Amino acid sequence: MQLKKENILIVDDDISILELLQRHLHSWNYHTYKAISVKEAVQILRDTKIDLLITDLKMPEIDGAELIKFVSEHYPELPKLVVTGYPSVQDSLSAIKSGVVDYLTKPFTKDELQNAIDKSIGNKATAKRGIAAKSSGNKDKAYGEILGASEKIKDVIQIIERVKDNKATIFIKGESGTGKELVARAIHYQGKFSRAPFVAVNCGGIPENLLESELFGYTKGAFTGADSNRDGFFQAADGGTIFLDEIGNASKAVQTGLLRVLQEKEVIKVGAQKAEKIDVRIIAATNSDLKELIKKDDFREDLYYRLTVVEIEVAPLRERKEDIPLLIEKFLFKYGVEYKDRFIQITPEASAILQRYNWPGNIRELENVIQRSVIMSDRIIDVEHLPDSLKYTIDFPNEALAPLKEIEKRYIRKVLNATDNNKTKAAAILGIDRKTLRQKLID
């Protein structure tokens, strides 16, 4: 008997319930995945295309409500069915459920389970309406792996929507750590070529003398150590997308090869005489100023114009601070599950500091700070768990030359603002007692 195409993920810490659900689902020819914790479920969701989530609510460490929240943010199109043994939680469920979410109360009959599943994924019209409603509610927050509610992120998503279904060459520019590869992945995986290969290459991470052969491949005997013919990254991406990060690091030989791909739709392996036809979309990115490299004759001008058919600029995090709370939540869940097997929270004081900081390292720096803070904390991240470089950051205008006492007062007020005027916390951060704090504000 052939399985249906739908993959159903069942999450419950009760093995007997998991096995019961699996038996029922197999009798209806669904393919199933099982998880006994939210941590296992998240890993399966990241590795597998799931068509329906069935989850319990009451589970140790991280409960099912947090899983529902995670799925709603990151997989808004995924139908969710909650199975609960606690009828008293139905009021809270009404706040959780949206779109195509439904719930069953234990014990339930086989018919009730089948009806609930049919309602979620069997009735295509209902499912489509639910998905549309859910997508509409989340379109300002998540698009693939891109997360943000700012106008700058909306602009990026608008361009992605226009280019995702064709193979125009795309150039992504932005500072290091802004998420250029996430944009490239969204272009590929949100479009009609998503089943074709996506190959990401960091041109700055491969030695210059190897990059050409890694990209285009080589023939046996082309150089010392070339013991056989080998395809390169372009051949691996044939039919799909190749993402070339830090393209400014490419040598002149590599640039010539790239121009050939763009103009002739073909590659020549190192050591070969004959070209091979290739069908691949090129997305390039850099945090360098290519126009400056052109002036220095380090980058070909004709290649630059070929690469920049469509340009997407990813703004630095300091220019879209309204996205920071969403990113904090994402990384708290990710590293809370990975390191603590639970959902980690953050105090308003600590969150306020993160939202005021300018993040020169952008999203990558924010992720690293959250990762470190999760490790250093237990269940709640507070100001004390943040790096000193954030806690004691103070920004004065250039003209703020003033007596030391005045600068000290300004900094104390900054700490008080960060702690919502909690003098006990502010004094602890400053390393003084409350009496000294009051005195310094008066002096």
pTM: 0.67
Tens digit of pLDDT for each residue in 4-14?
A: 568 899 999 88
User: Which part of the chain is CATH 3.40.50.300?
Assistant: 146-313
DSSP conformation letters of 142-197? EETTEE--SHHHHHHHHHHHHHTTS---EEEE--TTS-HHHHHHHHHHTSTTTTS-
Q: How far apart are CA 316 and CA 368, in angstroms?
A: 16
Pairing status of strand 142-143 against strand 146-147: antiparallel
Q: Domain 7-137 classified CATH 3.40.190.10? A: no
Superfamily of domain 146-313: P-loop containing nucleotide triphosphate hydrolases (3.40.50.300)
Which segments of the chain have a pLDDT < 70? 1-5, 86-101, 122-141, 392-402, 443
User: Which part of the chain is CATH 3.40.50.2300?
Assistant: 7-137
Q: Domain 319-442 classified CATH 1.10.10.10? A: no
Helix, strand, or coil (residue 254): helix
The mean pLDDT value of the chain amounts to 83
User: Which part of the chain is CATH 1.10.8.60?
Assistant: 319-442
In angstroms, the Cα distances linking 274 to 33, 36, 242, 269, 270 are 48, 55, 22, 8, 10
Give the tokens for residue 166. 């064709």
Residue 309 DSSP one-character state: S
